[in-house]
Structure 1
């Protein structure tokens, strides 16, 4: 794609800003900032990846994946305000997911052990885990606040924190998995996913592109399930004090 053709895509952004002004939505500033940030970030990532691919040094691979996990954990932890130490728990959950998923993919020879494969697939699975983590944090706080009476009753009857919040954890895991499961049901029918589309545009055989996309879809599902279940184990104690009193979280009255 030429630089001129790429520049022409700004028409879509300008159209969105015009609609925002016309309808008095007040989104034009956010759209402009998002456009600039996304362009700068993607260009910067492109040059960084070019350097890493050419250097082919494992240490650079570890650094960039660690950076991805740190940013994803920080973004998701913003949904867990009031839960001290939530950043590290999300980071542990995403890191464990990444190690297991990548270990399986590499050990079974599903992907080549090169940065060109590891970094993009890691980025997609970590991104999926970040979204699931954010949904999980939002929902568990909402469920916790809505079920305070039920939880207090269970605690007063001698239940442990784990027992008192078991149903909430189960509902939260299910909720955080909904987008991933719905995506699996409609992939290839409602949408043609990014990796598959990119490979086809680049000239790859559509069947080969589909095989890689199936790999990504299944990896996304495993990453989502693993991350949400790990978070349900790691995070529930943050909702209680050491003497099993329910904490007041941000947004509580």
Structure 2
């Protein structure tokens, strides 16, 4: 792809801005700023990755993964506003999802801990885990608000907080997992996912691209499940005080 072709593709953003202006959506500025930020951020990341790939250093790779996790935890933590220690819970859940999933792939020799492999794969894991944690927080806040009386009745009958909130915890985990499950069902039929498309565009054998995409699908299912599970079972505690009462 030439720089000129890339520049011409910006006309699609202009089209979106024109629609926004015509329909008075007031998104023109956001679209422009978002496009500029995307370009600047991606160019910066490109140079950083070029530097790290050239050195193939364990510590550089690990440091970049830590930066990714910290940013994801901060963003997901904001979804848990009002939940005690939401940022810390986000960090722990995302780290667990990353360590277990990435560790399994390395142990199974699907990938190696080289920056050219570990960083892109970890980016997908962290990004999806971040979304899952955000969905957990949103689901817990909604269900505790809507089903407060149900939980209080169980508490009054002597149930401990975990038992009283069990159905809400289960629902939050399920809510976080459903988008990934639905995505797996539509792979190859409704959509050609990013990794597979990228490899094919780069000239890779389609069958090899499919193998990698299958690995990614399994990987994300595991990462999302771990992150959602950890986040749910730590976050629900923030809805109760020391006297086993639901906090306002």
Q: Which category describes the TM-score, using the shorter chain as reference length?
A: over 0.9
Is this contact kept in 1: 2:100–2:223, CA < 8 A?
no
Name the SS for the 2:26 alignment partner.
coil
CA-to-aligned-CA distance 1:164-213 (integer Å, 9 cap, x gap)? 10010111111111110100000111110111001001000000000000
Distance 2:100 2:27 in 1: 40
Poorly superposed stretches of 4+, deviation over 4 Å: none
Aligned-pair CA distance for 1:84: 2.1
Alignment of 1:1-253 (within 5 A): 1-248=1-248
Structure 2: runs of 5+ lacking an equivalent: none
Aligned-pair CA distance for 1:113: 2.7
Correspondence for 1:251: none
Distance 2:194 2:130 in 1: 18
Distance 1:160 1:176 in 2: 24
Is this contact kept in 1: 2:240–2:247, CA < 8 A?
yes
Instruction: State TM-score, norm by structure 1.
Output: 0.96
Name the SS for the 2:242 alignment partner.
coil
Distance 1:37 1:161 in 2: 44
Instruction: State TM-score, norm by structure 2.
Output: 0.98
Give the number of equivalent residue pairs.
248
